[in-house]
C-alpha cells in the first residue's frame, strides 16, 4: 500500500521523557500578520515580547508548533479557531494568541516530501514551509527530504511504525527540533 501525499504539518507524537506530550503555552501573534497560521505550522519567535510568526524558510530557529488560535472579535465575542486567517480583524486593544507546543523535548510526526530511507534515521534535515488547508485548518509543512544530511532544524528519530505507513515516498517520520529557541543545538550520533 503506497503512502498518501497528505501533509499535515507537525503533530505531537510523544515526549522524549515519557509522560504527557501535549505541553502548550500561549504566545501573541505578531500584530497585523499578513500570513495564515495553521494547526501544525512551525512558528518562530519575534523580538523578546513572546510574539510569534511564520518563518519564511525551513531553516529558521523555531519556538514550537501551532495548535489553534484565540482572539476576540470586534463585537466582543471570543473565538477559538484551528487557524489564524490573514487579515482577521480583532477587538481594538486586544491581542490574538496562539497555543504553541514549545517544549523542546516534544517528538512530532511529520510527512516526508520525498523518498525516505532507513539510512535517514539519525540524520538532520530542514522542513518546508507549506500551504495549509483553510477548510481543515491543518498545516502543509513537510520534512524536506532533499535536505536530509545537510539540514540542521530537525533530527529524524525514526519512522512511524504503523500499518498505514511504509518506508518510501511520503513516509511519516518522527522528529524533534535539533535547534530550538529554548535550548541549544542537538549533536549527531
Digit-coded pLDDT (tens) for 130-174: 999 999 999 999 999 999 988 889 999 999 999 999 999 999 999
Would 163 be classed as within a structural domain?
yes
Q: Which residue in the block uniquely carries the three cell numbers 495549509?
A: 132
Contact (Cβ atoms closer than 8 angstroms) between residue 33 and residue 53: yes
Residue 73 and residue 138 share a domain:
no
Residue 150 and residue 108 share a domain:
yes
* Angstrom distance (rounded) from CA 169 to CA 113: 7
Direct distance between the N- and C-terminal alpha carbons of the chain, in angstroms, rounded to an integer: 32
- Computed from CA positions of residues 43, 133, 165, 21, in that sequence, does the dihedral angle turn out positive or negative? positive
Would 186 be classed as within a structural domain?
no
Residue 137 and residue 86 share a domain:
no
Strand-pair partners of 44: 53
Strand-pair partners of 72: 78
Q: Provide the percentage of residues in the chain whose pLDDT is more than 70.
A: 96
Question: How much is the mean pLDDT over the chain?
Answer: 91
Would 188 be classed as within a structural domain?
no
What is the count of structural domains for the chain? 2
Residue 108 and residue 86 share a domain:
no
pLDDT band per the 50, 70, 90 thresholds, residue 188: low
Residue 123 and residue 111 share a domain:
yes
Q: Which residue in the block uniquely carries the three cell numbers 501535549?
A: 22
Q: Which residue in the block uniquely carries the three cell numbers 477548510?
A: 135
Domain boundary among 78, 101, 124: 101
Residue 134: count of CB within 10 angstroms of its CB: 12
- Domain membership of residue 159 as a residue range: 11-15+104-177
Digit-coded pLDDT (tens) for 59-100: 888 999 999 999 999 999 999 999 999 888 999 999 999 999
Strand-pair partners of 138: 39
Would 189 be classed as within a structural domain?
no
Would 182 be classed as within a structural domain?
no
Length of the chain: 189
Domain boundary among 67, 101, 135: 101
Residue 94 and residue 117 share a domain:
no
The whole-number average pLDDT for the span 21-49 is 89
Amino acid at each position: 500500500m503506497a503512502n498518501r501525499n497528505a501533509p499535515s504539518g507537525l503533530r505531537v507524537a510523544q515526549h522524549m521523557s515519557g509522560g504527557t506530550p501535549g505541553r502548550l503555552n500561549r504566545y501573541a501573534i505578531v500584530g497585523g500578520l499578513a500570513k495564515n497560521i495553521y494547526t501544525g505550522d512551525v512558528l518562530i519567535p519575534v523580538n523578546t515580547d513572546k510574539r510569534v510568526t511564520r518563518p519564511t524558510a525551513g531553516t529558521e530557529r523555531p519556538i514550537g508548533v501551532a495548535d489553534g488560535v484565540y482572539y476576540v472579535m470586534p463585537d466582543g465575542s471570543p473565538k477559538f479557531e484551528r487557524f489564524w486567517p490573514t487579515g482577521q480583524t480583532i477587538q481594538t486593544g486586544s491581542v490574538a494568541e496562539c497555543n504553541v507546543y514549545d517544549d523542546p523535548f516534544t517528538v512530532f510526526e511529520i510527512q516526508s516530501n520525498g523518498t525516505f530511507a532507513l539510512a535517514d534515521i539519525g540524520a538532520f534535515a530542514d522542513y518546508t514551509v507549506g500551504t495549509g488547508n483553510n477548510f481543515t485548518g491543518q498545516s502543509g509543512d513537510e520534512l524536506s527530504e532533499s535536505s536530509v544530511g545537510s539540514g540542521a532544524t530537525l533530527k529524524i528519530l525514526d519512522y512511524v511504525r504503523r500499518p498505514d505507513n511504509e518506508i518510501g515516498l511520503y513516509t511519516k517520520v518522527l522528529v524533534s527540533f535539533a535547534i530550538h529557541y529554548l535550548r541549544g543545538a542537538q549533536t549527531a550520533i
